[in-house]
């Protein structure tokens, strides 16, 4: 079975950081992901997708990202349900984030990525030199 989600979008609000009774950090938020097509009026719609991040990555995410930040997230879709105060069953579908990446310049919100609870080294990225030429030969291309 495969349950893998990769999304790029903007935060619709600041991330909400909370702590469980056991002390584990949990951050939740909503990512607005633009659709590829436009409406008849030429407007682009977006899907608002809820996500959750746990433990130390949750604290880092909440510290580095704010409303409007462009972010990439990777994780899995999970559904859950609970009974609200009115006694109604509420179903929730959300992305459980396992990795995330900074997608804006350092001047905007930061630079780099965060993966598996540790900062990722971008030195092997040929595009990491901020707009300069990439060191790629024709032999490097798959086509």
Q: Compute the average pLDDT of residues 26-36.
A: 91
Determine what percent of the chain falls in helix, strand and coil, rounding each to the nearest 5: 10, 50, 45
Task: Give the confidence band of 25 by pLDDT, cuts at 50, 70, 90.
Answer: very high
pLDDT at 122: 43
CA-based nearest residue to 29, from 66, 80, 77, 81:
66
d(CA 127, CA 103): 13
Of 125 and 87, the one with more pLDDT:
87
Q: Measured in Å, how far apart are the chain's first and last C-alpha atoms?
A: 31
> Please, what's the b/e burial string for 73-83 (b: 16 or more CB within 10 A of its CB; e: otherwise)?
bebeeeeeeee
Domain ranges, ordered by start, for the chain: 5-111
Element (H, E) at 7: strand 5-11
Query: What CATH class has 5-111?
Result: mainly beta
Query: Which of 93-97, 101-105, 137-141 tops mean pLDDT?
Result: 93-97
pLDDT at 35: 87
42-51, 62-71, 122-131: lowest mean pLDDT where? Answer: 122-131
d(CA 120, CA 12): 25
Give Rg (Cα) of the chain. Answer: 18
pLDDT at 11: 92
């Amino acid at each position: 079975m495969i349950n893998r989600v990769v999304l790029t979008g903007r935060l619709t609000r600041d991330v909400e950081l909370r702590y469980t009774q056991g002390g584990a950090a949990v951050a939740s938020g909503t990512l607005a992901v633009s659709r590829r097509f436009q409406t008849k009026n030429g407007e682009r719609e977006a899907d608002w997708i809820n996500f959750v991040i746990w433990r130390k990555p949750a604290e880092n995410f909440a510290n580095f990202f704010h409303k409007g930040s462009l972010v990439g997230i990777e994780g899995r879709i999970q559904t859950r349900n609970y009974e609200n105060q009115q006694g109604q069953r509420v179903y929730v579908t959300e992305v459980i984030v396992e990795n995330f990446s900074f997608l804006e310049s350092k001047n905007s919100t930061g630079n780099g990525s965060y993966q598996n609870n540790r900062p990722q080294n971008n030195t092997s990225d040929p595009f990491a030199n901020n707009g300069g030429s990439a060191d790629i030969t024709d032999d490097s291309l798959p086509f």
